Amino acid sequence: MPGLSKYLFTGHPAVIAFFVVSGFCIHYPYRARMLPVGPFLAGRFIRIVPPAAAAFILAQALGMRAYNPIDGYILWSVVCEAIYYCLYPLILAISRRIDWPLLIVASVVAAYGVAIGVGSDQYGNAKAYGPQLNWVVGIPAWLLGCYLAENLHRLKLPGHVWGWRAATAATASALYWATMNTAAGFYLTMVPFSALAACWILVEIRNASERGPINVLETIGEACFSIYLVHVIAAAAIGWLVTTPIVVCALSLALAYPFYRWIEKPCHAAARRAKAKMEELGARRRLEERDGIAISDGA
């Protein structure tokens, strides 16, 4: 896109905001109850891995070699998500002994230790560390989402939701400009941005709970993972026929729907069924074990 307009679409800050949302959604159901580790992990991986694999295959078929989970774009964040899911049982156990703020501070120290210690590329990217370390740089945002979930009912912020939206969008654009034109790259700025994103998301949650959700956005939001996975693939394919940015953008969003309908949505349903079935089997097994102990004690 021409001129300053290219800074309107800020990919990496959007991913950081998504990490906050992900941490919130993962932790909210387990704030005060036991985490069934096996069903949880099975559900999460069935939910994200098949769609990500399908998108990867599609991208490779179109010759998009940079669309990969190792040193490319898009899939790097899916790898981070998978690592966060695997770490969550440990994080949850630690959080019940150590306050969330201490966990977040430790994660910030680790994130900057990697970012500053290793450095970045010429554009100051925060995803330049490979699958081994990208997750470390992004985990403060994810833990902030967990903190929001833990403290949702006592956290309040002043200001109108549109003010927070504008501030977050403007900051994201400014940081995108900075990472492309100054030494203040994303690898240095995304941790403080994640705090702003968490504040914005908190205000959004409050606004939705008080005024109700926006139905159109709720519907689009159901397909957000598909939009994220395939928008660049669709744009590349459409670009062979049309180059007008607004047309490419609109058609890319439209082409995300078939992917959602035929790939992501069935995987989501399968994940729920698998998780519920595993939880049911686990509950039945525990009941049988208790019955066996009771019979043994009564003998």
> Does residue 142 sit within a domain?
yes
pLDDT along the chain (299 residues), means of 10: 68 95 98 95 98 97 94 94 98 96 98 96 92 97 98 94 97 94 95 98 94 84 93 92 85 91 97 96 83 58
Residue with tokens 């998780």: 275
Q: Is residue 227 part of a domain?
A: no
Is residue 64 a part of any domain in this protein?
yes
Give me the pLDDT at residue 217, please: 83
Q: Is residue 280 part of a domain?
A: no
In a domain, 175, yes or no: yes
Total of domains in the chain? 1
Calpha distance 59→80 (Å, rounded): 20
Looking at the domain assignment, is residue 166 inside a domain?
A: yes
What is the model's pLDDT at position 63? 94
Please report whether residue 266 resides in a domain.
Answer: no
**How far is 99 from 54, CA to CA, in rounded Å?**
39
77 part of a folded domain: yes
**Residues shown for the chain:** 299
Question: What's the rounded Cα separation, in Å, for the pair 8 and 124?
Answer: 18
Q: What pLDDT shows up at residue 297?
A: 59
Range of the domain at 99: 3-212
**What is the sign of the dihedral through the CA atoms of 104, 110, 116 and 122?**
negative
pLDDT at 2: 53
pLDDT for residue 5: 66
pLDDT value at residue 292: 63
The structure's pTM equals 0.93
Q: What angle do CA 290, 294, 297 make, to 5 degrees?
A: 135
Give the number of other Cβ atoms within 10 Å of residue 235's Cβ: 16
